[in-house]
Structures are given as C-alpha cells and as structure tokens.
Amino acid sequence: MTESLEKKIIGRREMVDFPGLELFEVEAKIDTGAFTSSIHCNNIREVTQADGRKAIHFELLDPSHPAYNHKAFEFNDFTLRNVKSSFGDVQERYIIRTSIVVHGQEIETEFSLSDRSDLKYPVLLGRTLLRRRFVVDVSKKNLSLKAKNKKATKAKRVPKKKDQTS
C-alpha cells in the first residue's frame, strides 16, 4: 500500500523533457497498453563509423513540430527488437536508452524509434517507464506542467515586508 502512496499522479497526456536530446516541453501520450515507450524519428538508418562500429543515426520529430531542434543524433548503444504496433503489426524497431523528465523525475529508460508522423503525439510513454513510478488519472492532462508552473509562480512571489511604522 505504501508503494502506491509514493507514486505521482499523471494525466492521459503530459509535457516531457529529453535533456540529453535537447528537446523540451514535448507532449506525450500516456499508454498503459504499450509495453515500451516510443519517440517519433525520421531518417532512421544504421551507419558504420570510421572505427568499424555500428551506430544508429536519426533525427527527432519533424520540422513542423515546435520542439524540432534541427539536430541529428547517433547512438552506438542500440538494439533491434520486434515490437507490436497499436494496429497489431509486428515491426522491427531500433531501441535506444535515454533520459526523460516526467513530472520532475529524471528517468533513464528505453525508447523505440518509430515513425509516428500519422499519430497525434510524437511521444508515447509505456508501462515499463510508468511502472512503480506513476498512477494515471485519465480524466486529467498535463498535471506535471501545471505543477511546474505553480512551482515557478511560487518562486517568483516576493514576500511582503511588514510595515515598520510605529
């Protein structure tokens, strides 16, 4: 019972940050039916580096997305895994590990790289990331952004000085 008390409540959608990928305030869909989290990428390709090691090269999001940062990334540490899509198709996808900030918690986790251009949200957060950390309230959204803004507003408030006229 204490375990659930320590979990933060998040909504069906949340704003997340990827500090290592220099992506901030990206809207993510929370999907308790998905096992692995996923992030939208394009130009995904395996490359061979000068030293002969394989790497995965990709760009995050699309130029039309407000958080698009025009950067290409290469990860040496990746795997190739079969992932079942929401449509029931099995797709071979590249999997990387990176950090994400959700509701103030920085978490290192796996993301599958996939083309989510036809989907509304560029990031999907699955059970592996959610388990033992969060409880999802599907009637809410952007609870982490609201908490972040509330905290920032509190920090900006200047305490009133007491009137010293006596």
165 pLDDT higher than 80: no
Report yes or no on 46 lying in a domain.
yes
Residue ranges making up the domain that contains 39: 2-150
Report yes or no on 161 lying in a domain.
no
Report yes or no on 159 lying in a domain.
no
60 pLDDT higher than 60: yes
153 pLDDT higher than 80: no
Tens of pLDDT, residues 2-12: 454 589 999 99
pLDDT score for 113? 96
CATH number for the domain spanning 58: value is 2.40.70.10
More confidently predicted of 70 and 24:
24
User: Residue 36 burial by CB count (10 A; 0-12/13-18/19+): exposed, middle or buried?
Assistant: buried
Supply 47's token pair: 């490359």
Supply 144's token pair: 């982490």
In the chain, % of residues over pLDDT 70 = 86
Please tell me the pTM assigned to this model. Answer: 0.82
Report yes or no on 157 lying in a domain.
no
Residues whose CB falls within 8 Å of the CB of residue 156, separated by 6 or more in sequence, listed in order: none
pLDDT score for 28? 96
Report yes or no on 160 lying in a domain.
no
Report yes or no on 164 lying in a domain.
no
Report yes or no on 47 lying in a domain.
yes
Report the domain count for the chain: 1
What's the rounded mean pLDDT across residues 31-59?
A: 94
Report yes or no on 155 lying in a domain.
no
